[in-house]
Structure 1
Amino acid sequence: MKQINSFSHKKILVLGLAKSGVTAAALLHKLGAFVTVNDKKPFSENPEAQGLLEQGIKVICGEHPIELLDEGFEIIVKNPGIPYNNPMIAGAIEKGIPVITEVELAYEISEAPFIGITGTNGKTTTTTLVYEMLKEGQKHPLIAGNIGTVASGVAEEATSENTIVIELSSFQLMGIVDFNPKIAILTNLYDAHLDYHGTKQEYIAAKANITKNQTELEYLIVNADQEETLAVARHSKAGIIPFSTKKELPEGAYISDGWLMFKREKVMEIENIALPGNHNLENILSAMAAAKLSGVENRAIQRVLETFTGVRHRLQYVTEVDGRKFYNDSKATNILATINALAAFEAPVILLAGGLDRGNEFDELLPYLKNVKAMITFGQTAPKMERIGKLAGIKTIVRVDNVDKAVPEAYRYSETGDVILLSPACASWDQYKTFEVRGDIFIEAVHKLK
């Protein structure tokens, strides 16, 4: 960790706890800041806040009192999930108080450079692939960010020998000032989180922050098959490395005659890749580009791609029961992710779908439901899912209370050779705290069948 004094003796408000807030508060306290933590959960039910109080950090719980903003805070470190129209955040911006997320704090203290990955879909798979490739190539990577490990905690332990591979959400990227990855990856851009950002333009602007501080000394790896991502690249000062599954790009990463290519060099034959799904070729190409730019040899990249079969909750193979294969794609929190999942299978599919209603319809799924023989719905969007299922001509559509009840119901309508797929096309927050919880419940229910 860099020994910095930019936070020393400054009054800093950490707004919202969870893992990132706890880590940021403790770190700022260590760096000599006068830290106040404000969390909505009551103190008596808040072990995180209780632990921070024991460290000597001021804690205010149970509400977000707007008068806190009159206490002269110089910086606010915001939990990424708190929207900018929150009265505390809106009030802070009106007063000219800088609002950052803990990713910015991580960058300030890190001795290690960053490889940052963002986009609508494929972030977790791409982040994991980059990490595994760098690890296989003896580059001493650390993994952090939206994938589950708090960035500032990782940065605190990192040295100049490491590289921090970090998955970044639009929420996190809205709160950066100087953050500048040596390599950035923009996987793709589709409608997402519009309930938070308001418009697609605002969402794209947040994602584009990943490259806003890059110079010609850094790289932006960008999807060349999408106009939205190319538009971001046109405004970047970084060296652009395009990737494509549709066209040959001698200056980037692409596919030619059954080979993964990087700048005209053959890296690996596609037939030897273990990870299923054509959509994953985009993730593989972008990860390969980052690994090659980091000096990883082809054989290390090959070893990873020959053995890597996916990440938990992202088209994760669970098990086979009586000839039925079960897949957990709980991380499919939007329509495109579910489209990609459905496209990965030729066998008949029983689809488990539904969740938080964000006001959208699911008509985009219609062309991809041809192979779905039954649909089990749950959550707020169950009626919308049923409507699109009927339009697709699916004869068996059953509504259940939750994922736990969906699994035995799916099994009841299945036959040997079928795929039973949890791919909700929706966020989990109507019934479950996270998509991970939803996926774990699915896995547990599948194993109960045995």
Structure 2
Amino acid sequence: MKLVVLGAGESGAGTAVLAKLKGFEVFVSDFGPIKKEYKDLLNAHGITWEEQQHSQEIILAADEVVKSPGIPDKVPIVKALKAKHIPVISEIEFAGRYCKATTICITGSNGKTTTTSLIYHMLKSAGLNVGLAGNIGQSFALQVALENYDYYVIELSSFQLDGMYEFKADIAILMNITPDHLDRYEYIMENYSRSKFRVVQNMGKGDSFLYCADDPETLKYLPEYQNEAEYLPFSLNGPVENGAYSDGTSLHVKYNNSEFSMNIEELALKGKHNVYNSMAAAVAGHVLHLRKEFIRDSLANFQGVEHRLEPVVKVRGITFINDSKATNINSSWYALESMTTPVVWIVGGVDKGNDYNELMELVKQKVRAIVCLGVDNAKIHAAFDGVIATIVDAKSAEEAVKRSYELAEKGDTVLLSPACASFDLFENYEDRGLQFKEAARKL
């Protein structure tokens, strides 16, 4: 069997190693440069690779192709593969064939990294043999190849879900669906929403689907995606029969005659959006029959996720917060909503079809000044010029931090929450967040 892997990042390199160990004839092709660490990994396993090109003749001779999630379907090589009816799948689909472990799969437009990390923390605290994979941490395929975990907590982006066909989650969690990545979905919201619902495909008796009962887009499509799995809602709007809810002061879980309550003040993660994340994790813990003290302790002592509302430093009374992972409007809405002091807001990057009007009321209430961090900031200026008195532009994280510091007053918060992708000025959102933190710490 000839397997071609397109893209030699974390996902692609891991897939190649697993395929090689399973006896495939493997070829890895990356249209860009391949990082040294991945070249070393491929070489160590005797895998043939190319960079800065796609050799069409070799690729179109494949029996099957695994495509990295960052590669859109509209690129010429993927179109050519589809024209030849060569199956194109995701790393998760491929690795799932060889995975015997219990899978807990989390998707959603916002909150999925935090919820994934929180559930992983909970399972580890309970002493389970667990791996963290998908859109976070080490490649799922590489772990299936080299480790022997009993459980995997897997964060799934819509791009990963798009390439999944036979894969099945044992526990699936859908946090919410709000506009994101619409540039990959022909700017049609329904396409994106249906992509998210792929997380429930192939589920049946004995499986569990956790979903937010307060999310209108989820509720819109839910009736079409019923199967024999148990459906467990979580809500901030009052009691549910089986699942989780909050009454404003406490979080409650009801699951198969078991009840669990915890004061919201005890939760490590603050803010309304994090109550949803904590509820989803608590229900998952109950489905997995974890002891209540493990669930309670994990929700109380979780340290949070890097680049997600991450406190960085306080300089002369000004607090710097890194929320670089906020790459869409909804994420930045949550960030601004949770702020309790005046904000100097760093926003901008590669716009994915943003409607800044959704943030208008929060910006009027909370934002003192805006620093635009991007190559093209016209859309941000168009939305907020005349609404916010001071809007300045910056072309680097260092410049953005310097300008923010000058504009902030003692007691203010400088919030990097870009609402955009990072690829105009940075490698990725992590690079953006790290540069922001470094610049803030140098003040």
TM-score norm. by structure 1 comes to 0.92
In 2, the alpha carbon distance for the partners of 1:147 and 1:420 equals 26
1:70/1:260 CA distance change after superposition, 3 Å: closer
Gaps of at least 5 residues in structure 2 are none
Task: Give the length in aligned residue pairs.
Answer: 436
Q: Answer yes or no: is the 8 Å Cα contact 1:185–1:222 preserved in 2.
A: yes
Q: What displacement does 1:94 show?
A: 2.2
For residue 349 of structure 1, report the CA deviation from its aligned partner.
0.8
Q: CA, structure 1 residues 404+256, in 2 after alignment: closer, same or farther (shift >3 Å)?
A: same
Who is 1:273 aligned against? Answer: 267
CA shift in 2, pair 1:216/1:335, >3 Å? same
* Residue 240, structure 1, aligned to residue 231, structure 2: yes
Report matched runs for 1:21-32 at 5 Å: 21-32=12-23
8 Å CA contact 1:222, 1:230 repeated in 2: no
Question: Alpha-carbon deviation of 1:109?
Answer: 1.3
Q: CA deviation at 1:196?
A: 1.3
Report SS of the residue matched to 2:272: coil
| Alignment check: 8 A CA contact 2:307 2:324 kept | yes
Q: Secondary structure at the match of 2:385?
A: helix
Counterpart AA for 1:288:
A
| 2:280 aligned partner | 286
Q: Which amino acid aligns with 1:251?
A: N
Partner SS state of residue 349, structure 2: coil
Q: Which residue does 1:260 correspond to in 2?
A: 251
Corresponding residue to 2:106 among 109, 117, 124:
117
Amino acid at match of 2:299: L
Give the fraction of aligned pairs with identical amino acids, expressed as a percent. Answer: 38
Relative to structure 1, the CA distance from residue 115 to residue 70 in structure 2 (aligned partners, 3 Å threshold; closer, same or farther) is closer
SS at match of 1:279: helix
Partner of 1:428: 422
Q: Give 5+ residue unaligned stretches, structure 1.
A: 1-9
The answer on 1:408 being equivalent to 2:402 is: yes
Shift of 1:248: 1.7
The alignment status of 1:380 with 2:375, answered yes or no, reads yes
Cα distance, 1:347 vs structure 2: 0.8
In the alignment, residue 154 of structure 2 is paired with which amino acid? I
Report the Cα distance in structure 2 between the residues aligned to 1:297 and 1:440, rounded to whole angstroms: 37
Q: Secondary structure at the match of 1:80?
A: coil
TM-superposed deviation, 1:233: 3.3
1:250 aligns with 2:241: yes
Structure 1 letter corresponding to 2:325: K
Residue 201 (structure 2) pairs with residue 206 (structure 1): no
- Structure 1 Cα separation of the partners of residues 9 and 296 of structure 2: 38
User: In the alignment, what sits opposite 2:77?
Assistant: 88
Point out 4+ residue stretches in structure 1 off by more than 4 angstroms: none
Residue equivalent to 1:441: 435
Alpha-carbon offset, residue 368 of structure 1: 0.9
Aligned counterpart for 1:394 among listed residues 388, 392, 417 = 388
Contact 1:110–1:159 (Cα < 8 Å) also in 2: no
- The question of whether the paired residues in 2 share the 8 Å contact of 1:39 and 1:63 is answered with yes
Find the counterpart in structure 1 of residue 143 from structure 2. 154
Which of the numbers 140, 148, 155 marks the counterpart of 1:167?
Answer: 155
Map of 1:328-347 to 2, 5 A cutoff? 328-347=322-341
Whichever residue aligns with residue 177 of structure 2, its letter is L
Structure 2 counterpart of 1:375, which letter?
Answer: I
CA distance in 2, matches of 1:42, 1:169: 23
Indicate the residue corresponding to 1:64 in structure 2. Answer: 54
SS in 1 for 2:117: helix
Amino acid in the other structure paired with 2:343: V
Asked whether the 8 Å contact 2:236–2:248 carries over to 1, the reply is no
Task: For residue 353 of structure 1, report the CA deviation from its aligned partner.
Answer: 0.7
- Matched with 1:321 is 315
Tell me the equivalent position of 1:182.
170
Give me the whole-angstrom Cα distance separating, in 1, the residues matched to 2:41 and 2:232.
Answer: 45
2:9 pairs, out of 11, 14, 18, with 18
Following the alignment from structure 1 to structure 2, what is the Cα–Cα distance between the partners of residues 42 and 339? Answer: 35
Which whole-Å CA distance do the structure 1 matches of 2:104 and 2:265 have between them? 28
Q: 1:99 pairs with 62, 77, 88, which one?
A: 88
Q: Distance in 2 between matches of 1:134 and 1:213?
A: 24
CA displacement at 1:38 relative to structure 2: 1.4
Is the 8 Å Cα contact of residues 361 and 384 (structure 1) preserved in structure 2? Answer: no
Give the partner amino acid of 2:96. Y
Query: Is 1:318–1:326's contact at 8 Å kept on the other side of the alignment?
Result: yes
Q: Is 2:353 aligned against 1:363?
A: no
TM-score by length of structure 2 reads: 0.94
Mapped to 1, the partners of 2:291 and 2:442 lie a distance apart of 44
2:182 aligns with one of 189, 194, 200:
194
Query: 3-state SS of the aligned residue for 2:132?
Result: strand
The aligned counterpart of 2:211 is 222
Measured against aligned partners, the alpha-carbon deviations of 1:233-270 in whole angstroms (never above 9, x if no partner) come to: 32131210001112221221101362211117232111
Tell me the alpha carbon deviations over residues 156-204 of structure 1, each in whole angstroms, 9 at most, x when there is no partner: 34436x2100101111111112211110000000111111121222212
Question: Which residue in the other structure is 1:130 paired with?
Answer: 119
In 2 relative to 1, CA 279–70 (structure 1 residues): closer, same or farther, beyond 3 Å?
closer
